[in-house]
Amino acid sequence: MPYFITIQYPYQYLTVTLSCDQTILTSQTISKFQAMSGLIPALKNILKEHNLQLSDIACVGINTGPGPFNTLRSIIATANALAFAQHIPLVACNGLELLLSNNLHKNTIVILDAFGNDVYFGMQATQEYGYDSIEHVLSKIENSDQHNLIFIGNGAVKHKDMILKKFTHGIIQENILFASPQNLIDATVAKFAENKTEQEIFPLYFASPVVKN
């Protein structure tokens, strides 16, 4: 079975995971303050622990955001360098899509923090994705005639009071802040099987539209 490395940065820490197919073998979590200095050592440690070389890795999957820009950009630059040096294919995964793929209730809305009063959002019912102020996003939802809404993501928790004031029957799932390592692994393995790999990837911010692959 093929081995996969997946990397994502859920705002507060960096997670590096090794899996055999979709089964997690080991994972390392690094504080956001050591995210960049710790990425390469974490990769070395994970490979050494399982007597593997980079050449044994079938693919590297990256959550390309949304997320804190500078660290995300550096992580992706590192992944691109590894891909170039070792000829390892890459898979880019949209963090909003990852969250919605694991929370299939039609009234689920994911909101991720864009700092300040801005957010990234995705709506399960309409498959609409975007970037706007939290006020405009909630107005858009209010006008879509959706009821009994379920909100997930760190942006939903941050703006919890505003959301529940407008949607009194809404539910904030405070335990779902970001895509899990397993979400990212599953998406990476699926895209690899479908030959949807790349030699160079970019942060989601560089895509057009900005949050939809």
Question: For residue 124, which amino acid is it?
Answer: Q
Say how far apart CA 129 and CA 37 lie, in whole Å: 33
2-59: pLDDT as tens digits: 999 999 999 989 999 999 999 999 999 999 889 888 999 999 999 999 999 999 999 9
Q: DSSP string of 149-189? A: -EEESHHHHHTHHHHHHH-TT-EE-TT--S--HHHHHHHHH
Which parts of the chain have pLDDT scores under 50? 208, 212-213
- At 213 the pLDDT is 42
CB 42 within 8 A of CB 75: no
Residues contacting 79, CB < 8 A, separation 6+:
7, 60, 62, 90, 201
Beta carbons within 10 angstroms of residue 151's beta carbon: 26
Sorted by where each begins, the domain ranges of the chain are 3-94+179-206, 103-172
Amino acid 35: pLDDT: 85
Give me the phi and psi of 75, to 5 degrees please: -60, -45
Looking at this protein, which amino acid is placed at residue 45? N
pLDDT of residue 20: 97
Which superfamily is assigned to 3-94+179-206 in CATH?
Answer: ATPase, nucleotide binding domain (3.30.420.40)
**Closest by CA position to 57, among listed 67, 47, 45, 69:** 47
- pLDDT for residue 199: 94
